[in-house]
Amino acid sequence: MDKNITIIHPRPSSIVASLYTLRDLNVDVAILHGPPGCSFKHARLLEEDGIHVVTTALDETGFVFGGHDALVNVLHKVNEMFKPKLIGVVGTCVSMIIGEEMHEPVMEADLDVPVIEVEVHAGYRNNTKGVIIALESALEVGVIDKTEFERQRALLEEATNVELRHGAASREYLAPSRGDLKYKVAQRIIELLKEGKRGLVIMNAKKETGYMFADITVAINEVAEQLGKANNIVNMANIDEKLGLPRVRHHAECIANDLKERGIVIHENIGGLDEYPIAGNTVDQLIKDKYSNFDFAVISGVPHAIPMDHISNMELIAVTNGPRQVLPLKEMGHEHVIVEIDLHPKTLGVNHIVESEFGATLREVAKESL
């Protein structure tokens, strides 16, 4: 693993990462201090998730003379328009280059509302830096405590390591891929169930993506039930409702409730929805102790965070939402890899499980097989 490689395919932005962190902290309004087009797509998506995202809309004049007054004005404006209980201000490449100090305009605005100041830009090697900066500021204003901050920082460090080992940061260039055909993988799962093989269904999802990855767990259990093989399936999922930032805990609660309503038993709860970088260690130990003789495993979410030590003898099926993750997963030993394209936008602004393409495919193929 070369930590010094130059990655030339596009990588996630620290600015966007800080915006999503503010969302998880239940910020009501996030102000991007920069040009109007900065992070446009994700800013727009976050509005679907219940957070107001606005911008100081700096232009060429602001690039030269600074955006101090613009930020003060926008702070007053959002306070009047939205009556927020918590505000976030996020820097951009422009604010960094022109040397803007966001703390001064925040102090000048003098709002009776806590403001999380995130002095960030998109030039960091790892986007997790944006998360850490946001959390440091949240700690300073008392939104989170020291214990939660240290927990989050440890998770982020391991998330970075996971990507360096087997993720999109593991090599200079990774071509995007759609992976294997979903209907063929669905046929294979049905074959395994009909043959009486025992399978692990492991959801190791990142935050709100769990709303769709959970559907894969549901679909496999539904098909297993129809085939009279429900007892051959063991479900694991990282849906601990007591762990994570406020929004993350809410997601876990919603997913857990939906699974319960659908009669899906989670035999092993492997952590919180933000613990995907470390939940693999829990899974590894569980398999070693209890499930080493199982025949296959379907792993959704962040499959490359699951160590191969005790699953390499199984037939592995990975479900990811990262097109650049296909090759690394194949090289790890996952025989089948499928991609849920555009998963993330479909899981914003929801509080119930969303049907996945693979789940829908599996259900339809099963109808033809029964």
- Three-point CA angle 332, 334, 337, nearest 5°: 120
What sections of 144-209 are H helices per DSSP?
Answer: 146-166, 182-194
Q: Using 50, 70 and 90 to split pLDDT, how confident is the model at 3?
A: low
Q: What amino acid occupies position 126?
A: N
Q: By the 8 A CB rule, do 159 and 43 touch?
A: no
Which tokens belong to 51?
């957070």
Query: What CA–CA distance (Å, rounded) separates 154 from 131?
Result: 12
User: Percent of the chain having pLDDT more than 70?
Assistant: 99
Please give the distance of CA 161 from its chain centroid, rounded to a whole number: 15
- Percentage helix, strand, coil for the chain under 3-state DSSP, each rounded to 5: 50, 10, 40
Q: Under the phi-then-psi rule, with left for phi > 0, alpha for psi from -120 to 50, and beta for the rest, what region is 39? A: left
Burial of 279 (0-12, 13-18, 19+ CB in 10 A): buried
Given a cut of 80, whether residue 154 has pLDDT beyond it is yes
Q: Using 50, 70 and 90 to split pLDDT, how confident is the model at 1?
A: very low
Q: Using 50, 70 and 90 to split pLDDT, how confident is the model at 4?
A: low
Query: What CA–CA distance (Å, rounded) separates 340 from 320?
Result: 6
pTM of the model: 0.92
Q: Using 50, 70 and 90 to split pLDDT, how confident is the model at 48?
A: confident
Q: Using 50, 70 and 90 to split pLDDT, how confident is the model at 336?
A: very high
Q: What is the largest CA-CA distance in the chain?
A: 71
3 state SS for 133-160: HHHHHHHHCCCCCHHHHHHHHHHHHHHH
Which tokens belong to 169?
């940061």
Determine the pLDDT at residue 123.
86
Determine the pLDDT at residue 100.
86
Rounded mean pLDDT of the chain?
A: 93
Q: How many CA atoms lie within 13 A of 50 on its CB side?
A: 11
Given a cut of 60, whether residue 2 has pLDDT beyond it is no
Of the candidates 35, 126, 51, which has an alpha carbon nearest to the alpha carbon of residue 86?
51
